Chains A and B, each alone.
Chain A
């Protein structure tokens, strides 16, 4: 089961230079509060979905027993190096992969010395789990996957937790709006890149504070269009998180902090189960259980056109090929 879930920004500034900007310092304080909550929880595992780790070949799960390196961010290298030593839950990683495979996803674990753990995961684990009290597992974000595939990835994680009986804290590492300033800025002058980004961030935070996780998930496509730089095909972290947590609005939310980091919308938000849904809406998107593969929408031969039930399984009913 999931004891609690958090949205966290992955930029290195709250870790490496919180003193340079008041907002970055407040984010650091918010991280510290989350760290304290996790320490007081019954969580036995930290389960991470990081938008800072893109994958192409299906879904990768980082599960090396001990990961040690000195990380330098490719963009913010001037802020300094981040030496780390993390402990990963190898067994859970394998179990998670097996649950993905059973649901027809292409998935594999990654267990190599020197594998480049992404900046977002490094920052979160350094700030939230500095003594390696809990083991962690990190999941990549496939650049091509869309809602159906990501939902199934979340369900596989939930099933793996149920199967092993572990209690976990779930971390989604992602900016809200992700547009950076295109040059070096004076730290004191940092601000959200545009008013539009800021307004969309605040709308999402309003929903999250009310515990409306599934509503946020179902707004992901629109948020992607409005407030995200289109580096991947969609905004997926809330699909994964909502799927992992049962696809409902039955949560209590807390916005610990929301600040700009180099133009991006950086928020620290907590979610925990609540007995009553903030809003009990009828969700209009489908709920696939297994993945039936990628469809070639460019030129599908008739023989490969999906059958109706396959299309349903992909959660793409009604979309012509």
Chain B
């Protein structure tokens, strides 16, 4: 067992973050799982990462939680941070990059109250925010994939948060400063809500892809990290996670993001670490593996008073 920090008694409305998870969203993992919601069928593939998600699910099964809160780089917005603001979505999500792998029929509920609460807290902290209230909106595939792999029962509502494109507009440091505030707003809103939440940062680590795909996408003889420098960077970040060095990770993230072409440019990991209060307790790395050259890790931090099944 990996212990989370000591519980400091009830904060605000008694809500809490019971776990924070780095939950990457390669569509390949859903494709390889063959859930009934996904149209394409696979023979196998990316088992190490999928087994990592299995371990995560076992760990979360021991926890009582009400809602999944996910920050996704594939809902990219420039005009501030947006939040899903409709109770229910049903539709077909087709990945624009890997449509051959991911055509997923989703049916999900949104915790609009919590969504609005985080939105309002972020606004109070000076961030630009919007509620997304168009019922025809198609939920992004990053959100769907991370939620499905974490909790395939789909019996808990979600809160989905967009990724503001600040890293490219300004710099990784500016993005990080805003995402730290968003994380703080998220934690405060959850604590005041009285709800128990699992937070998902839906991103890969290093993110340089191969630009060609084998004829059989799940042919694992083609799968490896895109380059060694990415791998070294990924291991550096994972080592800090395992040693409970949340502050040091945040300090390194701008450089990591730039040099490993990392998907942390979307701010999801920064948001998560901030919401967790820059954790000083060790994270459990459930798995690490590459998907079409990118580096992906399934990592869990226990919330206050919680444990991670290791």
Interface set of A (CB-CB < 8 Å, partner B): 53-58, 60, 70, 72, 74-75, 77-78, 80-81, 106, 108, 110, 112-116, 118, 142, 144-145, 179-184, 229-231, 262, 294, 296, 298-299
Are the C-beta atoms of B136 and A70 separated by less than 8 Å? yes
Q: Which of A53, A116, A230, A262 contacts B94 (CB 8 A)?
A: A116
Question: Is B128 touching A72 in the complex (CB atoms < 8 A)?
Answer: no
Given contacts A72-B134, A229-B168, contact A57 B75 (CB under 8 A): no
Query: Closest chain A residue to B103 by CB distance?
Result: A112
Q: Which of A81, A108, A115, A262 contacts B79 (CB 8 A)?
A: A262
Q: Which residues of B contact A299 (CB under 8 A)?
A: 227-229
Specify the chain A residue showing the minimal Cβ separation from B213.
A57
Q: Complex: how many Å from CA A95 to CA B253?
A: 45
Contact sample, A vs B, 27 pairs, CB 8 Å cutoff: A55-B96, A56-B211, A57-B97, A57-B98, A57-B211, A72-B134, A72-B136, A74-B137, A75-B79, A77-B132, A114-B93, A114-B94, A116-B96, A116-B138, A118-B96, A144-B211, A145-B211, A179-B169, A182-B80, A182-B164, A183-B80, A184-B79, A184-B80, A184-B128, A296-B227, A299-B228, A299-B229
CB–CB A78/B134 < 8 A: yes
Is B75 a contact partner of A74 (Cβ separation < 8 A)?
yes
Given the interface pairs A58-B211, A182-B79, A182-B128, the reply to whether A115 lies near B96 with Cβ below 8 Å is yes
> With an 8 A cutoff between CB atoms, is B34 at the interface?
no
Contacting A at CB under 8 A, from B79-114, are 79-80, 82, 92-94, 96-100, 103
With contact pairs A179-B169, A229-B169 given, residues A56 and B209 touching in the complex (Cβ less than 8 Å):
yes
Q: How many residues of B contact A (CB 8 A)?
A: 39
What's the minimum C-beta distance from A17 to chain B, rounded to whole angstroms?
14
CB-nearest residue of chain A to B39: A112
Closest-by-CB residue of A relative to B77 is: A75
User: How many angstroms from the CA of A106 to the CA of B213 in the assembled complex?
Assistant: 9
Q: Which residues of B have CB within 8 Å of A70?
A: 136
In this assembly, does B10 line the interface, its C-beta being within 8 Å of a C-beta of chain A? no
17 other A-B residue contacts (CB within 8 Å) besides A81-B136, A231-B165: A56-B209, A56-B211, A57-B97, A58-B211, A72-B138, A74-B76, A77-B137, A108-B100, A115-B94, A115-B99, A116-B96, A181-B79, A182-B169, A183-B128, A184-B130, A230-B168, A296-B227
Given known A-B contacts A74-B140, A114-B103, A298 and B165 have beta carbons under 8 A apart: no
Contacts of B136 in A (CB 8 A): 70, 72, 81
A-B contact count (CB 8 A): 106
Bound: A267/B103 CA distance, A: 35
B78 at the interface (CB under 8 A from A): yes
- Cross-chain contact B103 with A54 (CB below 8 angstroms): no
Q: What is the CA–CA distance of A268 and B96 in the complex, to the nearest angstrom? A: 26
Give residues in B with beta carbon < 8 Å to A: 75-80, 82, 92-94, 96-100, 103, 128, 130, 132-134, 136-138, 140, 162, 164-166, 168-169, 209, 211-213, 227-229, 292
Are the C-beta atoms of A55 and B80 separated by less than 8 Å?
no
Chain A positions within 8 Å of B211 at CB level: 56-58, 106, 142, 144-145, 294
Inter-chain contacts of A296 with B (CB < 8 A): 227
Are A183 and B79 CB-contacts (below 8 A) given A53-B96, A57-B212, A296-B227? yes
Q: Which residues of A contact B165 (CB under 8 A)?
A: 229, 231
CA distance A78 to B212 in the complex (A): 37
Enumerate chain A residues within 8 angstroms of B166, measured Cβ to Cβ: 182
The complex places the Cα of A81 from the Cα of B138 at a distance, in Å, of 11
Contact partner of B78 among A78, A115, A145, A180, CB < 8 A?
A180
Knowing A72-B138, A74-B140, A142-B211, the reply to whether A54 touches B78 (Cβ < 8 A) is no
| CB-defined contacts of A145 to chain B, threshold 8 Å | 211
Q: Given the complex of chains A and B, what is the CA–CA distance between A81 and B136 in angstroms? A: 7
Q: A57-B98, A179-B169, A184-B128 in contact; A113/B92 too (CB < 8 A)?
A: yes
